[in-house]
Amino acid sequence: IYELKNHITPDTKVLTVSASGEQPLFAKLYGAQYILTFDISYNAYLLTSLKIAAIQAFEKHTEYEQFISNLGDNCKPRMLIHTPKIDKVLSHMDNIQKNHILTMNRIKMPIFLGDISCQDYIIPQPDYKKLRESLKSPFPFIWTNITELDKKLGNDKFDIIYYSNILGFADKNNIKSVLESTKKHLNQNGKIFLVVENKFLDLIVNNICNVYDAQNWDANLLYSPNKDSFNEIIIQHKQR
C-alpha cells in the first residue's frame, strides 16, 4: 500500500477495494482527490466510513488509535459499547450508516468479518493531521463483487486501479475475464496494482501473461520471498 505514494498526484483518479479502509485512506493521504471504492462486503464500507468518522471526531492520533484498537481484530472482534467517545464518532456518520452499525451491534454481529481487519496499516501519527484536514466525507462506494464490477463502472476510467488480495480468492475461471475488463477502465498511462498472496502468485502471473502482451505492457513484481507474505504487481502500458 505504501508504494502508492510514488504514483499519486492531486489529479490521480483512483479505484480501490474498500477492504479494511486503509486502501482509500492512504490514497487520500497521498493526495488523490477522486477515490471510488468497491467491495463484495457492505461491512467494508461501514468500517471505512467508521474510520473516517473517527478521524473527523478525534483531534489526537492517540484517541483514534485507541478507538481502532478497541474494535478488536478479525480474530477477536468486539461489539461497540456506548460511551461518549463512541457517540462522538457516530455523530459524524449519516443516519443510514449509523443505523446499520447500531443494528449490527444489537444483534451482536461484528462490523467486520472474515479477512477484514480493523488494525491493518493504521495511519501513522505524523500524517494524521494532514489526512484529518483533507477528509470531508465518506468515499463513494459500489457494493459488488469483482466479476460484476465492470458492469457497475460503465465507461468510467481511472489512473490507478488497486486490487488488494482479491484475485486469488476469485473463481480461477474468472480471473482472465476480470483482468481483461480491467484494461477497459484504465486511462492512458494508468497503472493496475495487484496485491497477491504468495500461494496464488503463479496462478495470477499466468493469467497476466495471457491478457497483457509483453509488446505493449510492463508488469513489475515487487516480490516477497516469505511464503506467507504478499507480493505487489504493477501493470502499465509501455512508455513509447
Render 122-189 in DSSP notation, one character per residue: PPPHHHHHHHHHH--SPPPEEE--TTTHHHHHTT--EEEEEEES-GGGS-TTTHHHHHHHHHHTEEEE
Q: Name the least confident of 130-144, 172-186, 189-203, 223-237.
A: 223-237
Model's pTM, two decimal places?
0.88
Q: Which of 56-60, 99-103, 112-116, 175-179 has the lowest average pLDDT?
A: 112-116
- Cβ–Cβ under 8 Å, residues 32 and 13: yes
At 136, list the grid cell.
470531508
Q: How far is CA 130 from the centre of its chain?
A: 19
Residues above pLDDT 90, as percent of the chain: 50
Q: What is the pLDDT of residue 112?
A: 55
| pLDDT over 90 (residue 229) | no
Packed helices 42-57 and 95-106: angle between N→C axes, nearest 10 degrees: 110
C-alpha grid cell, residue 219? 508488469
Read out DSSP for 2-43?
A: GGGGGT--TT-EEEEE-TTTHHHHHHHHTT-SEEEEEES-HH
Distance CA 226, CA 209 (A): 23
